[in-house]
Structure 1
Amino acid sequence: MSLLDDLAAVGRAPGGGYARHVFDRADTELREWFREQAGRRGLDVETDRNGNLWAWWGEPGPDALVTGSHLDSVPGGGAFDGPLGVVSALEAVSRLPARPARPFAVVVFAEEEGGRFGVPCLGSRLLTGALDPDRARALRDPDGVTLAEAAARAGVDPARLGRDDEALGRIGTFVELHVEQGRALDVPVGVGSTVLEHGRWRFSFTGQGNHAGTTILADRRDPMLPAAEVVLAARRLASTVDGRATVGRLVPRPGGTNVIASTVDLWLDARGRSREVVAELTDAARAAAAAEGCTVTVTEESYGGTVTFDPALCDRLTGLLGAPELPTGAGHDAAILAAHTATAMLYVRNPTGISHAPEEFAEDADVEAGVVALTRVLEDLST
């Protein structure tokens, strides 16, 4: 808990929670903290070509046992999502009775939440080649800064972003500990089984900007109306297929109170039969836009199919810990790596059931149970 307390003041958001995004000031401070803590434990830290941090215990090598998570947050996020996995990994290193016989590392992945550049699991997607580096370099944050520009300022060569076969080839087993992000866990620790299919899409509506006071309703081409219809339709459609659909971000331009917007962009997060929902939603968006004299384009920004973690590894962990298996609708770097190497996840109970918000929580006793479980797993897998 003292390690988590070290991070409590870093990246506080004005409205509550945290704002920690890749290559920003808070991220830089968190990276320095990680380097210092890893050094205290005799780990050597290196930054890979995609901005991910690797703390090696001894020489890097093939078939490495790797654990870790991320340190970034969603806007207004909680204190546990990401950092708990990194803190627990560092504490487990302190508790292991000896250095693992196989190569071993603690990793911090860059921009898992996609809070700055919009693509979740950015570091692991680049590492595995799941994200085209040219597309990645051109991504822009809300201030118009490209990922290429931000990476260069942080000392990461943007020309080298992309699939890293050397780093990827070293990972033999990856175990990620994470706070549980719902209320499905009724014991301190669980083992991950699957991750729901999920993706993010941008709906861009274009109309005609105009004066809010002088433009009669019949003369308006207001993109906010079809955008609002999509927000409501997303909820209705998701409920019909037992899926999940959320519009958490909507940006009108120019954004004046007394101005009819000229464009409205909204971002849809859909999980569980997400492409089915998006296909129907696209038809609804086009019809609503046409009725208002507007146009709409739909862009897929990220997508991942249903992920099943390595069954043999999961069985080994559930047997070792006596813990239940747990499916989730939350995405993780472990899910990106699952297509390339044996991966597993441990979840620590969250009594509030709330995540991506300041109320996210884990009891001290459950955090300790998570560290104990991770230490046991790493010791068991270390040979």
Structure 2
Amino acid sequence: MTSSSPRASSSPRAIDELRAIDELRAFDELWEQIAPIGRESKGYLRYALSPPELALRDWFRSQAALRGLEVTDDGNGNLFAWWGPAWADGAVLTGSHFDSVPHGGGYDGPLGIVSAFLAVDELRARGVTPARTIGVAAFVEEEGGRFGVPCLGSRLLTGAVDPDRAAGLRDAGGTTFGEALGARPAGARLDLVRRLSAVVELHIEQGRALVGMHAAVGVASAIWPHGRWRLDFTGTGDHAGTTLMADRHDPMLTYAYTVLAANKEARLAGAHATMARVLVEPNATNAIPALVRGWLDARAADTPTLDRLVEAIMKRATERAGRDGTSVAVEAESVSPEVAFDTALASRLAGILGGAPILPTGAGHDAGVLSAHVPTAMLFVRNPTGVSHSPAEHAPHEDCVAGVTALADVLAGL
């Protein structure tokens, strides 16, 4: 009598369990390669084109080389790894971004890139030979954490941002995007984008809707309209110890009132408003400020609601400035319209995944920018706490593996 290996003699259930262990091990191994990069005591600092993000871009190239994938750069800082001819007609694109918000989490963005490489591995393990080219993307400056414009790479690629404007964007240290990139951005390449048949971005869910739906993976239906507005509150700088309270023209008071007003107006509108970034001049303990610069992040379920929200906040800020003897100037830095992902594609993905739930999101993504030019969809991986843009951001790795499987199923189906 001859003996057989444990795998050969195992039951179908045991084989499935062994396969699940192998898949989890593969995810853990790839994830641990990037997890330490850019990690600080207060979270991740992976600003676009900074040393940590450049290290991740090198990792991207090495992973592509290990798989025999050709890597191209569109001249805007976006990287693409191709299983098949680059930018071939009908290609399917997946991937995400590496950069983080200041002291952010490790999953927002990189999960989509790690999952894309592992989905390629999964398809090859299944013996799939794709009829269409599959591309893995790493978009630059998705968060806008360094140069201030979110989804900058995808906006450049699609022509939504002028390359000269992008080249001149400066970070906190005065370095321009063009300097960090090492060249003037190439700008729009819609001739390439329109060759794609579909874009599918996998992302950790930024919220906890999937927890209540008892689903590890969901499909996006829409992205709320959202934007960033810079508000400059100007007053009279003076001495904190000698200026009578009645004689002050303090822009910090106007700013503080506006923060509270934004919170109230957003709650009344069923929308979101956040003012979490502020710069003060001269920023001294014993000086009344001359300038307070704050940023408003506003989001709503539809464009009319967003417009009314921003208008109400600006009205209250202006009225308060009149009472404080200060002034306020407003500049829209970026405004993204409502994105309704391709309905047919979303339904098709949900069907491929056996009826996965379809849900909207309030967070912006490169997929939303690309959706104006190519059928686009997103997959979300369950986030048990709903926390994002924080070092507490986390997805159980078993769910991450389910995301890899779902992405592989979707790519195979497309």
Question: Which TM-score band (shorter chain)?
Answer: over 0.9
| 1:35 equivalent in structure 2 | 61
| 2:254 equivalent in structure 1 | 226
| 1:185 equivalent in structure 2 | 210
| 2:196 equivalent in structure 1 | 171
Offset at 1:205?
Answer: 0.8
The 1-side partners of 2:139 and 2:196 are apart by 14
| 2:382 equivalent in structure 1 | 349
Offset at 1:70?
Answer: 0.5
| 2:16 equivalent in structure 1 | none
The 1-side partners of 2:293 and 2:280 are apart by 6
Residue from 40, 52, 55 that aligns with 1:13: 40
The 2-side partners of 1:62 and 1:163 are apart by 18
| 1:335 equivalent in structure 2 | 368
The 1-side partners of 2:290 and 2:44 are apart by 32
Return 91-100 or 298-307, whichever deviates more.
Answer: 91-100
Residue from 216, 240, 245 that aligns with 1:217: 245
The 2-side partners of 1:32 and 1:276 are apart by 45
| 2:177 equivalent in structure 1 | 147
| 2:330 equivalent in structure 1 | 298
The 1-side partners of 2:225 and 2:259 are apart by 20
Residue from 32, 40, 44 that aligns with 2:70: 44
Mapped contact 2:236–2:288 kept (Cα < 8 A) = yes
1:112-151 aligned at under 5 Å gives the runs 112-151=142-181
TM-score, length-scaled by structure 2: 0.88
Name the SS of the counterpart of 2:194 in structure 1.
helix
Mapped contact 1:57–1:99 kept (Cα < 8 A) = no
| 1:90 equivalent in structure 2 | 117
Residue from 381, 394, 398 that aligns with 1:365: 398
Is 1:253 the counterpart of 2:281? The answer is: yes
Letter in 2 for 1:287: E
The 2-side partners of 1:9 and 1:261 are apart by 40
Question: RMSD of the TM alignment (CA)?
Answer: 1.2
Name the SS of the counterpart of 2:384 in structure 1.
coil
Runs of 4+ displaced beyond 6 Å: none
The 2-side partners of 1:161 and 1:301 are apart by 21
1:34-68 CA-to-partner distances (Å, cap 9, x unmatched) read 11111111111121111000111121112211110
| 2:270 equivalent in structure 1 | 242
Offset at 1:319?
Answer: 0.8
The 1-side partners of 2:270 and 2:408 are apart by 37
How many equivalent residue pairs? 375
Offset at 1:290?
Answer: 2.1
The 2-side partners of 1:216 and 1:79 are apart by 49
1:181-223 CA-to-partner distances (Å, cap 9, x unmatched) read 1010031000111111111101111112222222221222211
The 2-side partners of 1:206 and 1:161 are apart by 37
| 2:79 equivalent in structure 1 | 53
| 2:6 equivalent in structure 1 | none
Mapped contact 2:74–2:186 kept (Cα < 8 A) = no
Letter in 2 for 1:276: R
| 1:266 equivalent in structure 2 | 294
Mapped contact 1:49–1:164 kept (Cα < 8 A) = no
Offset at 1:134?
Answer: 2.7
Residue from 101, 108, 128 that aligns with 1:74: 101
1:158-191 CA-to-partner distances (Å, cap 9, x unmatched) read 1x43211233233221000000010100310001
The 2-side partners of 1:282 and 1:143 are apart by 30
Letter in 2 for 1:371: V
TM-score, length-scaled by structure 1: 0.95
Letter in 2 for 1:115: G
Q: Percent identity?
A: 53
